[in-house]
Amino acid sequence: MNIRFLSHVYFVAAITISFNLVVSPSYCFAQDASGVQKSEIKEVTHQVFPKVVKLYGAGGLKNLVNYGTGILISADGHILTVWNHLLDTDHLTVVLDDGRRLPAQFIGGAGEAGLAVLKIEVINAPHFSLDKVGRRGPGTPVLGFSNMFNVAAGSEHVSVIHGVIATVTALTARRGRFDVPFQGEVYIVDAIMNNSGAAGGAIVSHDGVLLGVIGKELRDRRSNLWINYSIPLYDVKQTIGKLIRGEVIINEQTGLSPVIKTIDTLPLGFRLVPNVVPRTPAFIDAVLPGSLAEKAGLKSDDLIVLLDDDLIQSCHEFYEQIRDSKKGDQLRITVRRNQQLFTVELIVPEFQK
């Protein structure tokens, strides 16, 4: 059977399940092994909805959506989410379950799992308590709450998907061609939860206990299949607590890579996408009208793959390569566009390094 056809089937199935769970007044869940009744699960969903928020930030380009999900973890408005390109902006917006739109401040990130903490100005916010984070094993029925596909943009409830923890295992995954550094255990979930915008959403048990957050969209390194997984919080809740309290966390203690200093490439006539992780692909974000880059034929969403004869696998590598360039040098840039390669030549201007 055609793999692309299967992916469409999965997509439609995920949307259908989500729609049914959110809209149906009966919330058609089967009774699980613990004896939890449908009415109790319905009550749990309504308890969780106000604790899950929609995030809007950087993105809007091909393969880089500008929406995501977070969960409230304090009455003072601290929000836990995943650390990705969405946060690389000074205009991050949080939409609460009741539709209120509030600006958010990035507090910090920690751990090779790539978690981040944000802050909004709110009083007595409904939230998950980190002291009550649970730990479950295979066979546990779970609910996944997220803003997948940006279905909920205002006061609508986020989407809900019902699944089961299939196994707890080490994450061996990749993003594009690049391996993911996180090697900790994750919950592999028997449900299509890791969709666009779902990262940062909540995974809870049928009795409402927070278990983890939905991770980024990743493929298994061995099978090349998309992974539906959640990052458990039982091992990182103390680190998250430190971030909330404003304590300094050294990179070496958390497995974070050092911050990569970017170079202003606007003198070349273009800007790359936000460089928020070590392996951010070197996509061109914008090309200045009338610039040398535009005259050479570069366009937004072009992926830089070669600089002279060197392979470029990330924004970091591109910045490192041009860091030593001198004014007047000639750069030969090869980009991929619609599965084709194009090469242009630009003269190096004066960079601000």
* pLDDT tens-digit readout, 118-154: 999 999 999 999 999 999 999 999 999 999 999 998 9
Could you tell me the sign of the dihedral formed by the alpha carbons of 19, 25, 30, 34, in that order? positive
Q: Are residues 82 and 175 in the same domain?
A: yes
| pLDDT tens for each residue of 266-278 | 888 998 887 766 6
Q: Are residues 248 and 298 in the same domain?
A: no
Domain that holds residue 309: 266-347
Q: Are residues 168 and 248 in the same domain?
A: yes
What is the average per-residue pLDDT within 32-46? 72
- Say if CB 53 and CB 69 are below 8 A apart: yes
In a domain, 123, yes or no: yes
Q: Are residues 75 and 221 in the same domain?
A: yes
In a domain, 352, yes or no: no
- Say if CB 319 and CB 262 are below 8 A apart: yes
Q: Are residues 123 and 245 in the same domain?
A: yes
In a domain, 260, yes or no: no
End-of-domain residue from the set 231, 254, 277: 254
- Say if CB 18 and CB 151 are below 8 A apart: yes
Structure tokens at 215: 């991770």
Q: Are residues 246 and 327 in the same domain?
A: no
| pLDDT tens for each residue of 207-264 | 999 999 999 888 887 777 889 999 999 988 888 888 888 765 544 333 334 344 567 7
Q: In angstroms, rounded to a whole number, what is the distance separating the alpha carbons of residues 116 and 130?
A: 15
- Say if CB 300 and CB 338 are below 8 A apart: no
Q: Are residues 152 and 190 in the same domain?
A: yes
Structure tokens at 79: 């929000």
In a domain, 353, yes or no: no
Q: Are residues 178 and 45 in the same domain?
A: yes
In a domain, 98, yes or no: yes
Best CA proximity match to 48, nearest among 211, 166, 231, 188: 211
End-of-domain residue from the set 227, 254, 281: 254
What is the model's pLDDT at position 103? 96
Q: Are residues 241 and 332 in the same domain?
A: no
In a domain, 316, yes or no: yes
What is the average per-residue pLDDT within 170-188? 71
Q: Are residues 100 and 199 in the same domain?
A: yes
In a domain, 259, yes or no: no
End-of-domain residue from the set 208, 234, 254: 254
Best CA proximity match to 205, nearest among 133, 131, 148, 97: 133
- Taking the model in full, what pTM does it have? 0.65
CATH number of the domain within which 201 lies: 2.40.10.120
In a domain, 261, yes or no: no
Q: Are residues 137 and 14 in the same domain?
A: yes
Give the chain's domain count: 2
Q: Are residues 182 and 127 in the same domain?
A: yes
CATH number of the domain within which 287 lies: 2.30.42.10
